[in-house]
Amino acid sequence: MPVDNYRIFGLILGGGVEPLRYDRVTTQMDVIATAIDLLGTDFIHPIIGRSIFAPNKNDFALMKFYSLYGFMRDGKLAVLEPKTEARTFKVEGDNLLALPHDQELERDALALLTTASHLYQERKHDLPNSLAGIKK
């Protein structure tokens, strides 16, 4: 899994947006949640991600490289591949160092990827019409 390919820089420009360098791990799902947060809106939405400004923000990243799926959290990466046992690595810069299985990390990776895939395939990632646009 080429983790160096997933160091993606982002830039949000707008009136009143203070300059900030954010060096923690985040994922693409957090971009829209962060933009909504910056807009100052507060409504129920089906976005799985969390704003980088949220106090309950979990630092993790999802990756996909051909048939490999990766889930990185706390400096460790679980790699899932069809018909192969999950593997765990320590991320040091661009290097991956093999570690003994981290069953919790590997299980969390499988749960997140399976749930996201199911929600998308079954088109259940939208809000019910009764909740769409309602403020929290």
- 135 located within any domain: no
- Average pLDDT (47-54) is 82
Q: pLDDT band for position 130 (50/70/90)? A: low
12 located within any domain: yes
Report the share of the chain in percent with pLDDT over 70: 88
Q: What is the pLDDT of residues 59-101, one digit of tens each?
A: 888 888 898 999 999 999 999 999 999 999 999 988 899 999 9
Residue 133: inside a domain, yes or no? no
CA distances in angstroms from 26 to 6, 12, 82, listed in the order given:
10, 15, 25
Write down the mean pLDDT value for the chain.
83
Please report whether residue 132 resides in a domain.
no
Looking at the structure of the chain, the number of domains it has is 1
Amino acid (one-letter) located at 133: G
Write down the pTM of the prediction: 0.76
Which tokens sit at 36?
């909504």
C-alpha 33: how far from its chain's center?
A: 11
Largest CA distance in the chain: 50
Distance CA 76, CA 63 (A): 13
